[in-house]
Homo-oligomer: A and B are copies of this chain.
Amino acid sequence: MEKNSNILVHFGIQVKFYRQQKGLSQEALAHRASLHRTYIGMIERAEKNITLLNIEKIANALEVSISQLCDNSDG
A49 part of interface (Cβ distance < 8 Å): yes
- Asked if residues A7 and B67 are in contact (CB atoms below 8 Å), the reply is no
Residues of A within 8 Å of B, CB-based: how many? 18
Instruction: Give, as a whole number of angstroms, the nearest-CB distance from A43 to chain B.
Output: 10
CA distance A71 to B50 in the complex (A): 17
User: Which residues of chain B are within 8 angstroms of A67 by Cβ–Cβ distance?
Assistant: 65-67, 70-71, 74
Interface residues of A (CB under 8 A from B): 5, 7-8, 11, 49-53, 55-56, 65-67, 70-71, 74-75
**A–B Cβ pairs within 8 angstroms, 16 of them:** A8-B52, A49-B52, A49-B53, A50-B51, A51-B51, A51-B52, A52-B52, A52-B70, A55-B70, A65-B71, A65-B74, A66-B70, A67-B67, A67-B70, A67-B71, A70-B70
